[in-house]
């Protein structure tokens, strides 16, 4: 039976900020952001990447062109997919904006608290981005339809309820087991649930459709990679520091659940009329991506029959994007190269 987790005190004068004793959770810290003494160098490195990624929706031009494309060039099936996908993305970033401060209350390393706070800010920027897209691209009468797409789509409602309940389970019962489940689901949400939808927008852009939307999505995807990396590192630290909490079987079981949910809803919302995103590609891509994510955790692949990314045209688009490196080659170790930084948080 696992113990109950305790949220951090706002200020704990009896705490101990000794870096040598610090752990990522369950530590008796003062609550002071002592950032000149850092244990988790990967967090310091990620801080620099995340600050360097700063952007605002107003940076993206051409959304009025997308409005013309949406109404005049997209097929009915593409418009339906655009609406449903945007609704799910809005939900994911909304729930993360609310969820992350709760999660941060249980992290006892200030350098990790810092980057989780930046992540919460970025999730809010993503929500603002979707609002900007809706205001510009779709008619006012369609905005509520998109925000509340789940009210008329039982598949999306089931997904949203499932995700929300996992987070709520820990709030209601803050056991170590539920906490680790919470950590895994943050990792899965950030690393699996966004990416078929990124692929959809990339696919449209590869056909010269909704190009500005895809440009906005590229900024969001760049942020999401750092979020994936944060939670991959948190899981690895828990494995080292709290092996009694770490549960490899739970990771595999939850990954399989996430993949099955993603494949089912992707096939539902995309139908069979989206060029380049047939049902076989959707399933193989999701399973390939799951194997890549497990590799970030140092784990063996779950789907051994899937060894390559079926969306080769999307890899090429990523390589040609001057705003970032190739996402598909990035791993958790790309952001752990800070040993030569000697305590400075400046660029």
Of the candidates 187, 59, 50, the residue with the CA atom closest to the CA atom of residue 119: 50
Instruction: Tell me if 254 sits within 8 A of 181, measured CB to CB.
Output: yes
User: Which pairs from 335-340 meet CB under 8 Å and 24+ separation?
Assistant: 335/42, 335/45, 335/46, 335/49, 335/226, 335/229, 335/233, 336/41, 336/42, 336/45, 336/233, 337/45, 338/41, 338/42, 338/44, 338/45, 339/41
Band of pLDDT at residue 239, cut at 50, 70 and 90: very high
Taking only the tens place, the pLDDT of each residue in 259-314 is 999 999 999 999 887 877 889 999 999 999 999 999 999 999 999 999 999 887 67
pLDDT of 297: 97
Domains of the chain: 60-334 (1.10.620.20)
Provide mean pLDDT across the span 142-159. Answer: 94
pLDDT of 313: 67
Biggest alpha carbon distance in the chain? 65
pLDDT of 1: 54
**Which residues are tagged catalytic?**
130
Of the candidates 265, 248, 288, 73, the residue with the CA atom closest to the CA atom of residue 157: 265
**Residue 53 backbone dihedrals phi, psi, to 5 degrees:** -85, 5
**Residue 307 backbone dihedrals phi, psi, to 5 degrees:** -120, -5
pLDDT of 119: 97
Share of the chain above pLDDT 70, in %: 90
Taking only the tens place, the pLDDT of each residue in 158-172 is 999 999 999 999 999
pLDDT of 59: 86
């Amino acid at each position: 039976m696992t113990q109950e987790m305790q949220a951090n005190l706002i200020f704990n004068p009896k705490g101990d900020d000794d870096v040598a004793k610090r752990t990522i959770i369950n530590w008796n810290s003062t609550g002071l952001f002592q950032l000149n003494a850092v244990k988790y160098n990967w967090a310091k490195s990620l801080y620099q990447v995340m600050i360097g990624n700063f952007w605002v929706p107003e940076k993206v031009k051409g959304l009025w062109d997308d409005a013309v494309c949406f109404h005049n060039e997209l097929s009915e099936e593409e418009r339906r997919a655009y609406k449903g996908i945007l609704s799910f993305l809005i939900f994911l970033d909304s729930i993360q904006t609310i969820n992350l401060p709760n999660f941060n209350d249980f992290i006892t390393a200030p350098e990790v608290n810092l980057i989780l706070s930046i992540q919460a800010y970025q999730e809010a920027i993503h929500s603002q981005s979707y609002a900007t897209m809706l205001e510009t691209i779709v008619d006012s009468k369609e905005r509520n339809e998109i925000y509340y797409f789940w009210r008329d789509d039982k598949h999306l409602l089931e997904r949203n309820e499932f995700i929300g309940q996992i987070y709520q389970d820990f709030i209601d019962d803050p056991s170590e087991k539920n906490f680790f489940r919470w950590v895994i689901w943050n990792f899965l949400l950030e690393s699996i649930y966004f990416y078929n939808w990124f692929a959809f927008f990339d696919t449209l852009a590869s056909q010269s459709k909704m190009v500005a939307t895809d440009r906005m999505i590229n900024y969001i995807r760049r942020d999401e990679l750092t979020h994936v990396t944060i939670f991959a590192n948190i899981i690895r630290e828990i494995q080292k520091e709290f092996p009694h909490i770490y549960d490899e079987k739970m990771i595999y079981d939850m990954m399989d659940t996430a993949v099955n949910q993603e494949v089912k809803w992707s096939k539902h919302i995309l139908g069979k009329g989206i060029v380049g995103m047939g049902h076989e590609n959707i399933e193989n891509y999701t399973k390939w991506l799951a194997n890549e994510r497990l590799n970030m955790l140092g784990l063996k692949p779950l789907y051994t029959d899937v060894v390559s990314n079926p969306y080769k045209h999307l890899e090429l688009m990523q390589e040609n994007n001057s705003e970032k490196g190739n996402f598909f080659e990035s791993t958790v170790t790309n952001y752990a190269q800070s040993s030569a930084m000697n305590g400075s948080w400046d660029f």
